[in-house]
Copies of this chain bind each other. A is one copy, B any other.
Amino acid sequence: MKPLILISNDDSIYSKGIRELVEVAKEFGEVIVVAPSKPQSAKSHSVTLEEPLTIKETNVFGDVKAYKCSGTPADCVKLALHHILDRKPDLLISGINHGANYSVNLIYSGTLAAAIEGFMHGINSIGLSVDSHKPDADFTIAKKYSKKIIKSVLENKLDSKICLNVNFPDIEPNQVKGVKICRQTKGAWAEEFVELTHPHTKKSIYWLTGTFKNLEPQNTDTDVWAINNNYIPIVPVQIDFTNYKIMQEMKSWKL
Protein backbone atom coordinates (compact mmCIF):
# COMPACT_ATOMS: atom_id res chain seq x y z
CA MET A 1 0.00 0.00 0.00
CA LYS A 2 1.27 3.49 -0.81
CA PRO A 3 2.15 5.66 2.21
CA LEU A 4 -0.71 7.87 3.38
CA ILE A 5 0.43 11.45 3.85
CA LEU A 6 -1.70 13.97 5.74
CA ILE A 7 -1.01 17.62 4.97
CA SER A 8 -2.03 20.66 7.00
CA ASN A 9 -0.73 24.18 7.65
CA ASP A 10 -1.62 27.44 9.36
CA ASP A 11 -1.59 29.89 6.44
CA SER A 12 -4.87 28.38 5.18
CA ILE A 13 -5.69 25.95 2.42
CA TYR A 14 -5.39 28.79 -0.14
CA SER A 15 -1.72 29.65 0.50
CA LYS A 16 1.05 29.08 -2.02
CA GLY A 17 3.12 27.09 0.49
CA ILE A 18 0.56 24.30 0.91
CA ARG A 19 0.08 24.04 -2.87
CA GLU A 20 3.82 23.58 -3.31
CA LEU A 21 3.86 20.98 -0.55
CA VAL A 22 1.04 18.98 -2.12
CA GLU A 23 3.01 18.85 -5.39
CA VAL A 24 6.06 17.51 -3.57
CA ALA A 25 4.22 15.01 -1.37
CA LYS A 26 2.25 13.47 -4.27
CA GLU A 27 5.46 11.77 -5.42
CA PHE A 28 5.65 9.78 -2.19
CA GLY A 29 2.18 8.42 -1.64
CA GLU A 30 -1.52 9.09 -1.29
CA VAL A 31 -2.03 12.67 -0.11
CA ILE A 32 -4.98 14.04 1.85
CA VAL A 33 -5.16 17.70 2.84
CA VAL A 34 -7.06 18.94 5.90
CA ALA A 35 -6.23 22.59 6.44
CA PRO A 36 -7.78 25.74 7.90
CA SER A 37 -10.25 27.65 5.74
CA LYS A 38 -8.68 30.94 6.87
CA PRO A 39 -5.23 32.07 8.11
CA GLN A 40 -4.30 30.79 11.57
CA SER A 41 -0.78 32.14 12.01
CA ALA A 42 0.50 32.40 15.58
CA LYS A 43 -2.44 30.34 16.87
CA SER A 44 0.06 28.02 18.56
CA HIS A 45 -1.48 24.78 19.83
CA SER A 46 -4.92 26.26 20.47
CA VAL A 47 -7.97 24.06 19.99
CA THR A 48 -11.61 25.03 19.66
CA LEU A 49 -13.76 24.04 22.63
CA GLU A 50 -16.37 26.79 22.66
CA GLU A 51 -18.02 26.01 19.34
CA PRO A 52 -18.37 23.19 16.83
CA LEU A 53 -16.21 22.87 13.72
CA THR A 54 -17.23 22.60 10.10
CA ILE A 55 -15.53 20.59 7.36
CA LYS A 56 -16.01 21.14 3.64
CA GLU A 57 -14.51 19.15 0.81
CA THR A 58 -12.79 21.26 -1.83
CA ASN A 59 -11.15 20.67 -5.19
CA VAL A 60 -8.47 23.36 -4.87
CA PHE A 61 -5.80 20.68 -5.37
CA GLY A 62 -7.41 19.00 -8.38
CA ASP A 63 -7.52 15.24 -7.89
CA VAL A 64 -5.93 15.36 -4.42
CA LYS A 65 -8.58 14.91 -1.74
CA ALA A 66 -8.81 18.06 0.36
CA TYR A 67 -10.96 19.42 3.16
CA LYS A 68 -11.09 22.89 4.64
CA CYS A 69 -11.90 23.19 8.30
CA SER A 70 -13.17 26.13 10.34
CA GLY A 71 -10.74 25.51 13.20
CA THR A 72 -7.09 25.85 14.14
CA PRO A 73 -4.22 23.76 12.74
CA ALA A 74 -4.40 21.42 15.76
CA ASP A 75 -8.18 21.10 15.26
CA CYS A 76 -7.56 20.17 11.61
CA VAL A 77 -5.22 17.34 12.56
CA LYS A 78 -7.57 16.00 15.24
CA LEU A 79 -10.52 16.09 12.85
CA ALA A 80 -8.49 14.42 10.11
CA LEU A 81 -7.38 11.59 12.38
CA HIS A 82 -10.75 11.02 14.00
CA HIS A 83 -13.25 11.78 11.26
CA ILE A 84 -11.79 12.01 7.81
CA LEU A 85 -9.05 9.40 7.37
CA ASP A 86 -9.90 5.71 7.39
CA ARG A 87 -6.40 4.70 8.51
CA LYS A 88 -3.56 6.23 10.46
CA PRO A 89 -1.30 8.26 8.15
CA ASP A 90 2.32 7.22 7.69
CA LEU A 91 3.42 10.83 7.72
CA LEU A 92 2.04 14.24 8.59
CA ILE A 93 3.53 17.32 6.92
CA SER A 94 2.60 20.85 7.94
CA GLY A 95 3.43 23.85 5.79
CA ILE A 96 5.16 25.00 3.83
CA ASN A 97 4.82 28.02 6.10
CA HIS A 98 5.36 31.55 4.86
CA GLY A 99 7.74 32.73 7.61
CA ALA A 100 10.46 30.97 9.61
CA ASN A 101 9.71 29.04 12.79
CA TYR A 102 13.16 28.70 14.33
CA SER A 103 14.12 29.13 17.98
CA VAL A 104 11.27 30.02 20.36
CA ASN A 105 9.01 30.90 17.42
CA LEU A 106 8.08 27.24 17.42
CA ILE A 107 6.03 27.93 20.57
CA TYR A 108 3.79 30.45 18.77
CA SER A 109 3.56 28.56 15.50
CA GLY A 110 0.37 26.96 14.23
CA THR A 111 2.43 25.12 11.60
CA LEU A 112 4.49 23.35 14.23
CA ALA A 113 1.42 22.76 16.41
CA ALA A 114 -0.12 20.71 13.59
CA ALA A 115 3.08 18.66 13.31
CA ILE A 116 3.29 18.22 17.08
CA GLU A 117 -0.38 17.20 17.23
CA GLY A 118 0.36 14.42 14.74
CA PHE A 119 3.45 13.42 16.71
CA MET A 120 1.33 13.24 19.89
CA HIS A 121 -0.81 10.70 18.01
CA GLY A 122 2.25 8.58 17.21
CA ILE A 123 2.78 9.79 13.65
CA ASN A 124 6.10 10.81 12.08
CA SER A 125 5.63 14.52 11.49
CA ILE A 126 7.43 17.36 9.76
CA GLY A 127 6.90 21.11 10.02
CA LEU A 128 8.28 23.02 7.04
CA SER A 129 8.79 26.80 6.85
CA VAL A 130 10.52 29.24 4.52
CA ASP A 131 12.19 32.37 5.88
CA SER A 132 9.98 34.72 3.87
CA HIS A 133 6.53 36.11 4.63
CA LYS A 134 5.84 36.98 1.00
CA PRO A 135 2.65 35.38 -0.37
CA ASP A 136 4.63 34.56 -3.55
CA ALA A 137 7.79 33.38 -1.72
CA ASP A 138 10.24 31.28 -3.75
CA PHE A 139 9.91 27.60 -2.82
CA THR A 140 12.69 26.21 -5.04
CA ILE A 141 15.01 25.31 -2.15
CA ALA A 142 12.12 24.17 0.04
CA LYS A 143 10.80 21.78 -2.62
CA LYS A 144 14.19 20.28 -3.44
CA TYR A 145 15.15 19.57 0.15
CA SER A 146 11.63 18.64 1.31
CA LYS A 147 11.88 15.65 -1.03
CA LYS A 148 15.09 14.45 0.63
CA ILE A 149 13.63 14.97 4.10
CA ILE A 150 10.28 13.27 3.34
CA LYS A 151 12.12 10.29 1.83
CA SER A 152 14.35 9.96 4.90
CA VAL A 153 11.46 10.23 7.35
CA LEU A 154 9.36 7.66 5.47
CA GLU A 155 12.40 5.37 5.73
CA ASN A 156 12.88 6.26 9.43
CA LYS A 157 14.48 3.23 11.05
CA LEU A 158 14.68 4.76 14.53
CA ASP A 159 13.00 3.04 17.45
CA SER A 160 10.70 6.00 17.94
CA LYS A 161 8.53 8.30 15.90
CA ILE A 162 10.01 11.69 15.16
CA CYS A 163 8.85 15.26 14.72
CA LEU A 164 11.09 17.62 12.77
CA ASN A 165 11.14 21.41 12.63
CA VAL A 166 12.66 22.40 9.27
CA ASN A 167 13.39 25.95 8.13
CA PHE A 168 14.52 26.96 4.64
CA PRO A 169 16.70 30.06 4.10
CA ASP A 170 15.45 32.70 1.65
CA ILE A 171 18.54 32.74 -0.58
CA GLU A 172 19.54 31.80 -4.11
CA PRO A 173 19.35 28.02 -4.63
CA ASN A 174 23.06 27.78 -5.51
CA GLN A 175 24.03 29.35 -2.16
CA VAL A 176 22.58 26.54 -0.04
CA LYS A 177 25.22 24.61 1.90
CA GLY A 178 22.91 21.69 2.76
CA VAL A 179 21.00 20.36 5.75
CA LYS A 180 22.22 20.71 9.36
CA ILE A 181 20.79 18.84 12.35
CA CYS A 182 20.50 21.46 15.10
CA ARG A 183 19.16 22.30 18.51
CA GLN A 184 16.64 25.06 19.23
CA THR A 185 18.38 28.43 19.62
CA LYS A 186 17.95 30.39 22.84
CA GLY A 187 16.13 33.46 21.59
CA ALA A 188 13.61 36.09 22.57
CA TRP A 189 11.43 38.74 21.02
CA ALA A 190 12.16 42.39 21.57
CA GLU A 191 8.52 43.29 21.32
CA GLU A 192 6.95 46.54 20.52
CA PHE A 193 3.33 47.49 20.46
CA VAL A 194 2.48 50.14 17.91
CA GLU A 195 0.02 52.45 19.62
CA LEU A 196 -2.81 53.62 17.39
CA THR A 197 -5.98 55.60 18.03
CA HIS A 198 -9.28 53.81 17.56
CA PRO A 199 -11.23 55.84 14.98
CA HIS A 200 -14.52 55.50 16.86
CA THR A 201 -13.67 55.44 20.56
CA LYS A 202 -10.57 57.69 20.18
CA LYS A 203 -8.89 55.42 22.74
CA SER A 204 -5.46 53.83 22.35
CA ILE A 205 -5.21 50.41 20.75
CA TYR A 206 -2.07 48.30 20.57
CA TRP A 207 -0.75 46.23 17.67
CA LEU A 208 1.94 43.63 18.32
CA THR A 209 5.20 43.87 16.39
CA GLY A 210 8.80 43.14 17.32
CA THR A 211 12.15 41.80 16.30
CA PHE A 212 13.71 38.46 17.11
CA LYS A 213 16.89 38.42 19.18
CA ASN A 214 19.35 35.53 19.01
CA LEU A 215 20.70 35.15 22.56
CA GLU A 216 23.56 32.86 21.51
CA PRO A 217 24.76 34.04 18.06
CA GLN A 218 28.18 32.45 18.52
CA ASN A 219 26.88 28.87 18.85
CA THR A 220 27.09 26.98 15.56
CA ASP A 221 24.96 24.01 16.65
CA THR A 222 21.78 26.15 16.73
CA ASP A 223 19.01 26.53 14.16
CA VAL A 224 19.34 30.30 13.85
CA TRP A 225 23.09 30.13 13.22
CA ALA A 226 22.44 27.48 10.57
CA ILE A 227 19.81 29.43 8.62
CA ASN A 228 21.86 32.64 8.84
CA ASN A 229 24.80 30.74 7.38
CA ASN A 230 22.90 29.29 4.41
CA TYR A 231 22.18 25.87 5.93
CA ILE A 232 18.75 24.27 6.28
CA PRO A 233 18.35 23.63 10.03
CA ILE A 234 16.40 20.59 11.18
CA VAL A 235 15.53 20.44 14.88
CA PRO A 236 14.07 17.13 16.11
CA VAL A 237 11.24 18.02 18.49
CA GLN A 238 10.11 16.53 21.82
CA ILE A 239 7.20 17.64 24.00
CA ASP A 240 8.36 17.04 27.56
CA PHE A 241 8.43 20.47 29.22
CA THR A 242 9.98 19.14 32.44
CA ASN A 243 13.09 20.96 33.60
CA TYR A 244 14.89 17.95 35.11
CA LYS A 245 17.77 20.00 36.52
CA ILE A 246 15.48 22.34 38.46
CA MET A 247 13.37 19.34 39.45
CA GLN A 248 16.37 17.88 41.32
CA GLU A 249 17.34 21.23 42.82
CA MET A 250 13.80 21.90 44.04
CA LYS A 251 13.60 18.66 45.98
CA SER A 252 15.36 20.39 48.89
CA TRP A 253 12.74 23.16 49.01
CA LYS A 254 10.50 23.14 52.07
CA LEU A 255 6.99 23.06 50.65
Contacts and interface: CB of A to CB of B under 8 A. Distances in A.
Interface string A36-80: 000101111111111111110000000000000000001100110
A8 to B, nearest CB: 16
Nearest to A166: B255
Interface in A139-191: 145, 148-149, 152, 158, 160, 162-163, 165, 178-179, 181-184, 188, 191
Contacts of A206: 52-55, 79, 83
Contact of A238 (B120, B205, B243): B243
A241 to B, nearest CB: 5
Contacts of A50: 39, 41
Given A108-B47, A162-B246, A152 B205 contact: no
B45 A107 contact: yes
Interface of A: 39, 41-55, 74-75, 78-79, 81-83, 104, 106-108, 110, 113, 116, 120-121, 145, 148-149, 152, 158, 160, 162-163, 165, 178-179, 181-184, 188, 191-193, 195-196, 198, 203-208, 234-244, 246-247, 249-251, 253-255
